[in-house]
Structure formats: structure tokens, C-alpha cells
Structure 1
Amino acid sequence: MAMNQIPGHNIYIGGIFCLKNKAALARADITHVLSVLRLNPVEETFASYQHLSIAVDDVDDENLLEHFPAAVRFIQAGLDGGGGVLVHCAMGKSRSAAVCIAYLLHQQPGALTPQSALEGLRQSRPLCEPNDGFMKQLALYHEMGCPDDVTDNPVYQRWLYHRDVEESVACGRAPEMRSVRFEDELPVQPKENNTGRSVEIKCRKCRRTLATSSFIINHEPNQPNHAKVQSGTECAHVFLHPLKWMRPSLFPSAAENGSDPDADSTYDEYSADAPLSGRLTCPNSGCGANVGKFAWQGMQCSCGGWVVPALGLAKARVDIASQINRATRGPAGPAALGIRLPPGMRPPATEDPNSGRGNL
């Protein structure tokens, strides 16, 4: 099948057989060729071009995201040199389309979305259709702001962590401790929300602080017509990212071997018998109360929504305090964009103190 030019760019997309059409490549002034597939390249085929090979398969769980920055740089180098760039895979449908979308997003991150960029590709090549996994990775790339390096980005690192968990659960075991992201041990801590309101969660029995707003995972309730869930049912748990105090509950064998849950993790331990699910206990050695539960395979909240993996604090066993930080509270107040708390943790609407109501 012939190669097709992306509208407005000197970039062409096609399958592997378009490499045999030397006349078409010459007419398009192709100087750079980007191969997005696993192949044993014949040196003569690419002898006249600058060539970059990205060895990936067209499957949902392939990590193409890590290659987007290098691909974007290569394409830009070709265009800056005044030539044309050919991006190809086997059929010119999924892998090559995903890389071209990544380039377009990098050029116009505020104007395009993965879906709108795909629609632009289809104007010249209707068969373009990246697989679902690649489209999700493009959405993550766009969410990150299309950076020049993704490896140190927290969004990318969390995505890798979830992939490791999914692979482990698929094999019927808990993930390795070295692959778990204990969020409060990271060099860059998550920022508090900018609503001017913070949340602190404490053990109800001993008052030990367990989490703050930064580590809460939002989840959406299931559809109201779910047969087993009544509409408006309040969440019974607050779901969190993994925190270092959870390590003895998640990996009991490591704790028994003397690992300090408050020490920085070296991520080199592995517990073959780590449970897939179990209880979360208060890290206070003098308390040890059951404060929630975890399930690497996921858990359905009482509101009907699913959280995977699930590490939840039971609301009946913790105290949740909401405080207003007036130093950061802007004119939008609690309605400003920021973390969206699960149902049952959202504060009631308050009247404007400057409205004059209640002063009579």
C-alpha cells in the first residue's frame, strides 16, 4: 500500500512495503525513515536514509510510551534538515499512527487531543487505528504535557507500577515490593490540592496520622442502575496510594525479617508468599488496630465503583478531618480545581462570610 502524507506536514505514514517504492520515496524527498516494528533491517534498504528503529509489537500491553520522546526528536530533526520523514510499521495502521499522533501532540499539546490528532491522520490515511493500549498511552503522554523525557515523570512511573501489579495479579501473586511505588518515599512528593482545603486521616484508636489529601485516590461511583448498589450509596472506604507504613501489612515476611517500615526502601526485597489481599493495620506499635483492607486484584467500593489496586481505609475505623488553609484559598474557594474527594468526604456548602446574612 502507498504511503500517505500527513496534512500540513512533510511526514509520510505507510507500511513496510512502501520502502520498495524508491521512486515514491525520492519524489517525497524522504531523508529520514522511522521503523516502528520488530525487524532485521537490511542495510542496503536504509543506506540512503537516516534511520531509527523502534522494536515494538502491535499489542495492547507493549510499552510504546517510553519511545515517544526519541521518535519526536528524530522526526523533528528530519524536518529541520529540510527533508521528508517516513514513519512506517507493518501495515501503516497502528504503531506508526501512534508515533505520528505523539508528534502532533508534542507540536500542539493545547490544541489537539489523541482522538482529534487521529482524525487528522485519517483525512489522508483512513485505515489508521492504533490499538486501545496505544491510545491510552497517548492519553497519558498528553496528560503529562508531552515532555521531552517521560521516564522521570510521576504519571509514567505510576503507570509502570500499575502494569507490574496487573502482570503479577494475572499470575496469581502479589507484586514484588521493589516494584511498588510507596508515594511518601518519592523524592518529589505529590502536591496538595489547590482548593484551600486539606484532609487528614487518623487512626480512630490512637490518633496516628495515616494519610493526607495528596495520597487519596479518587474513584467514580458505578452507574445508578447497578443491580447490587443503591443510587447514592456512600463510600465506606477512602482509597489511597501505597504508603510506607503499609509495608508490613502488604509484605509481612519482609517485616518479620526485620525491615523497618519507616526506613527508606531499597526495593530489593521480594516476598514470594506476599498475600494478594488482607488487612491494613495501624503502624503504631502500641496500637495495631485494623484500619482497612487491601486487594491487589481490585475491590468494589460500596458505591459500586471499582478501584484497582485497592488499598482502602475503612471510614468506620478512622477519623477524617477537613481543614481550610486560608493562605492558599483563592477566590474560587473549595470549588476550585483540585482533588475531587469521594462521596461522603465532600464538605457542605458554606455561605459567603461577606454576604451579610446572619448579622441581623
Structure 2
Amino acid sequence: MAMNQIRGHNIYIGGILSLKNQAALSRANITHIVSVLRLNQADELLAPFQRHVIEVDDVSDEDLLVHLPAAVRFIQSGLDAGGSVLVHCNAGSSAMGKSRSATVCIAYLLSRQPAVLTPQSALEILRESRPLCEPNEGFMEQLALYHKMGCPEEDITDNNHLYSRWLYHREVQDSVACGRAPDMQAVLFEDDSKASQASGANNTEIKCRKCRRTLATTSFVIPHEQKSKPSSTTECAHVFLHPLTWMKPSLFPGSSSSTSSSPSVYGSHPADAPLSGRLTCPGCSANIGKFAWQGMQCSCGHWVVPAIGVAKARVDVVTRVNLREGNTNNTGLPPASLGIRLPPGMRSHAPESGRGSL
């Protein structure tokens, strides 16, 4: 099984042995080749073709995602020029053309029909011609993120917030696997990102119950699905948040509390930072929650990794939406919490316009 044509496209997928069959390449009108491997091949073998090389290994933690936009552009250029494109990788004789090359081909199919296809349905199209196609689990997750991004054809390293968040999570996973907290400079503090601030609604605020300091808004809440139906014993006890700059003194004791763009000597010694600990309010230093880079289980049963949670018993949730609409998101905030839970000394005051009190 040297190479196979993807149904409806002048794109072929195969292994490294495909390059040795010059007659088959000629019959398929191959003009462009995408090589997804680290192995060097003889120049004379590839001289007649335009070539795009992606040097990655077939391991789940390899960053193939960053290469997908350029690969898609290259494939399209070959098709637009009237030729055919071969996408190949290198593996054992029984599995060549299975994972890396399949991932690139799926990315191309997704980019052509992002509203119709999913990574899994695109994989099924490939399997019609090449049944052994099976990207590893990490590559399938990257394809899901690529699809969620809208299948961008431009470079994603500079301005794509979803990619930056994915890199941050990878850093956390690698650090925790080594038994240490991540480097502060590798953590994505969401309120430093204009893309994050502009995304989503910010009609709900989370405030410290003691000093009324605003801690977060809707766009910084990490949604999660409750594993069990809410009840007096299973309702989420925490609201989980993305990292924010005010958390630095808790997450990285001894670091500067200024924004992440300011110079900081902290981070070169990640062992100084705890894997887990308390989260304190930046306004009054009250204990308002906890964090665990290795993750923790919400009271509803859902695991959040990494986990930075403010305790609902220590904060108030303020919203400006109509309370009759209820809560239709999955942020872990129940409908009953959509309003101000006033401290005892303030309950004699009339509620603000558009807000309720609990």
C-alpha cells in the first residue's frame, strides 16, 4: 500500500516508499510533495518536485499544530497549479502513511469545509481510501483545536490566543510531570491578552465578599460540565478561573505583582513556586480559594487541570442580566448565584438597578 488518492481531491497519502515508485508518481501527476518526517532523503530523488518539509516525530506531544497552516497553503498552491500533491511520512512497513501524513491531510479537508466536517468525519473520508489512517491521540486533539480556531491559513504563533493557551497547558503538563510548578514566564495570564479581554460577555463579575474587589469577569471563567445533577451535595463549590495577574503573589510567592510584561527575576527557579496552595484576595489578603497545577476535582465530580478556583462561600457573583433568563452556560455558576450576595451590613440598602440580592 504505497499511496492512495483521497476521494474527490488530487491529493495522495502514503509512506516514504511512495517516493521510489517514479512510474506511479508520474501517472498521478504528482508535482508537489509534503514530507512529514525528520529523515533526510536523497536530493536527486526529489529534484523534479516542489517540496514542503515538516520535521516532526510521530509522538503525541509533538507540536504539529503550528505547521498546519503552512502545509495547507502549500497543498492548495500545488492544486491551483494544476498538479497533484503527495503527503507522506515514514514509519514501519505496516503503518506508513498512518499518523503524521493523515493529520496534515485532515487539516486540509477541514480547511475546505470547516462548517461541514469535523476531525473525525474527515478521518473517515481518508479511511475510505486508506483504512490504516489513524493519527495519534495528541494529533487528533490538535486537529480539534485547529478546527476550533477556524482552520487558519496564516501563521498562528503571534496572535492566536487559543494556540497560546494550548502552549501554556502543555508547559503546565510537562512541569507537573517533573514534580514542579511551571515557569511564571510560560503561564498565560489572560487579562494581559487583548484577545481574551475582547472575547465573550463580561456581564458577570466575581467580587471578594470581604473587600468587594473585582476578581474576574465572565470571559476569565473556565466552564465545565457537571458530572452529576446539581443538588445540595453536588453543586460546584468553586468557580474555576484562568490565570490572572493579581494571582501572581499566590501562584509565585516572591515574584513581582506587576503585569507580566514587566521584567521579573522569578521563573528561573521554578522549584521555588508551590504546586498547590491558597489563593488570596489582592485587595484584603483574605483567603478566597485554592490552586493546584496538577488539577483538582470539583465538588460536582469534574476534574479541572490546572485548577485555580475561588470558593463560592468567599465571593459574590454579580450580574447585569435579567435574572429570569437563568444561567444557560456551564461555568459552574448556578442560577441562584446570578446576583449580589450582600454582606450583612449592606442588606438594608436597595439593590442596584438590574441586580438582585441573595
- C-alpha distance in 2 between matches for 1:74 and 1:346: 53
Q: 1:114 to 1:232 in 2, by over 3 A?
A: farther
Q: Which residue of 2 aligns with 1:184?
A: 191
* 1:281 equivalent in structure 2: 280
Q: Deviations over 1:234-271 (max 9, x none)?
A: 111100000000001111122xxxx2335744476314
Structure 1 range deviating more: 179-188 or 165-174: 179-188
Q: Which residue of 2 aligns with 1:302?
A: 299
Partner of 1:355: none
Letter matched to residue 282 of structure 1: C
Query: Which residue number in structure 2 is paired with residue 352 of structure 1?
Result: none
- AA of the residue aligned to 1:15: G
Aligned-pair CA distance for 1:221: 2.2
**Structure 1 residue aligned with 2:111, among 86, 92, 106?**
106
Whole-angstrom distance in 2 between the partners of 1:335 and 1:279: 28
Aligned residue in 1 for 2:175: 168
Whichever residue aligns with residue 287 of structure 2, its letter is N
Letter paired with 1:182: F
Say if 1:178 and 1:266, in contact at 8 Å, map to a contact too: no
The residue that corresponds to 1:249 in the other structure is 250
CA gap of 1:42–1:231, structure 2 versus 1, over 3 A, is: farther
Q: CA deviation digits over 1:268-292, x for unaligned, max 9?
A: 63143100000111112xx210011
> 2:205 matched to 1:205?
no
**C-alpha contact (below 8 Å) 2:208/2:288 kept by paired residues:** yes
Q: Does 1:150 align with 2:166?
A: no
| CA contact 1:165–1:309 (8 Å) conserved in 2 | yes
Indicate yes or no: 2:328 matched with 1:323: no
Partner of 2:36: 36
1:61-102 Cα shifts (integer Å, max 9, x gaps): 111000000100110111111111000011001100000000
Residues 97, 133 of structure 2: 8 Å contact kept? yes
Normalised to the residue count of structure 1, the TM-score between the two structures is 0.86
CA displacement 1:194-234 (0-9 Å, x = unmatched): 5xx8211111111111111110001122357xxxx989611
- The answer as to whether partners of 2:228 and 2:300 remain within 8 angstroms in 1 is no
**Distance in 2 between the 1:2 and 1:214 partners?**
48
Q: State the secondary structure of the residue aligned to 1:253.
A: coil
Whether contact under 8 Å (1:241, 1:311) holds in the other structure is yes
SS state at 2:254 partner: helix
In the aligned structure 2, how far is the partner of 1:45 from the partner of 1:214?
A: 52
Separation of aligned partners in 1, 2:80 and 2:243: 44
Say whether residues 1:11 and 2:16 are aligned partners. Answer: no
The 8 Å contact of residues 280 and 286 in structure 2, kept in 1 or not, is answered as: yes
Whole-Å Cα distance in 1 between the matches of residues 176 and 165 of structure 2? 16
Listed as ranges, the gaps of 5+ residues in structure 1 are 327-331, 349-360
Partner SS state of residue 233, structure 1: coil
TM-score for the superposition, normalised by structure 2: 0.86
2:96 aligned with 1:96: no
* 2-structure distance, mates of 1:22, 1:262: 58
Partner SS state of residue 320, structure 2 = strand
1:58 partnered with 2:58: yes
Tell me the residue number matched to 1:261. 258
Offset of 1:322 from its aligned partner?
1.9
Q: 1:303 to 1:9 in 2, by over 3 A?
A: same
Q: Deviations over 1:128-173 (max 9, x none)?
A: 1111111111010000100123222111110010000000000000
Contact 2:298 2:304 in 1 (8 A): yes
Return the letter of the residue paired with 1:7. R
Contact 1:177–1:268 under 8 Å retained in 2: no
- 2: CA distance, partners of 1:231 / 1:16: 59
What residue in structure 2 maps to residue 344 of structure 1? 334
SS at match of 1:275: coil
Looking at structure 1, the residues matched to 49 and 203 of structure 2 have their Cα atoms a distance apart, in angstroms, of: 56
- Kept in 2, the 8 Å contact 1:178–1:268? The answer is no
- Using a 3 Å threshold, how does the CA distance of structure 1 residues 23 and 231 change in structure 2: closer, same or farther? farther
Query: Match for residue 347 of structure 2?
Result: none
Q: Does structure 2 retain, via aligned residues, the 8 Å contact 1:249–1:279? A: yes
> Matched residue of 1:292: which SS?
strand
3-state DSSP of counterpart to 1:66: helix
Q: Distance in 1 between matches of 2:276 and 2:106?
A: 39
Whether the 8 Å CA contact 1:192–1:198 is kept in 2: the answer is no
1:315 aligned partner, one-letter code: K
Mapped to 2, the partners of 1:216 and 1:105 lie a distance apart of 29
Does the 8 Å contact 2:189/2:260 carry over to 1?
A: no
Number of the residue aligned with 1:291: 288
Give the CA RMSD over aligned residues: 2.3
Change in CA separation of 1:160 and 1:87 when aligned onto 2, cut-off 3 Å: same
- 1:113 is aligned with what amino acid? T
Between the aligned partners of 2:65 and 2:232, the Cα distance in structure 1 is: 38
CA contact (8 A) 2:245 2:257 kept: no
Aligned residues: 329
